[in-house]
Amino acid sequence: MARRLAAGLQQVPGIRLAYPVQANGVFAVLPGDQIAELRKSWSFHVWDDAGHSESVTRWMAAFDTTEAHVDELIEAMRTTSLVAHRVSG
């Protein structure tokens, strides 16, 4: 599921992967405005927050993560990416 998530996130404007996917974790670099929007509905860890305009976030797939869960998150990333770009752009 982590590879599915990574593949989906690579299609979202403004998001890039910080590291290659090797197991069940995805580390994605997101703009700060997008992180704030996602935190309203999703639980995740900001891995590297040095006070920059973007940070590395950590997303984990569990044994019971389904394709539907992953697709829902990818869609949330697309939606918040659009919101973040409207706010900052």
For 2-79, CATH gives 3.90.1150.10
C-alpha–C-alpha distance, residues 70 and 1, integer Å = 7
User: Please, what's the largest Cα pairwise distance for the chain?
Assistant: 38
Q: Give the domain ranges of the chain.
A: 2-79
Assess whether pLDDT exceeds 60 at residue 13. Answer: yes
C-alpha–C-alpha distance, residues 14 and 37, integer Å = 14
* pTM, two decimal places: 0.85
pLDDT (0 to 100) of residue 70: 98
φ, ψ of residue 16 to 5 degrees: the values are: -140, 155
- The per-residue pLDDT for range 18-76, each reduced to its tens digit, is 999 999 999 999 998 899 999 999 999 998 776 678 999 999 999 999 999 999 999 99
Q: Which residue blocks in 1-89 are alpha helix, DSSP H?
A: 2-9, 32-38, 67-88
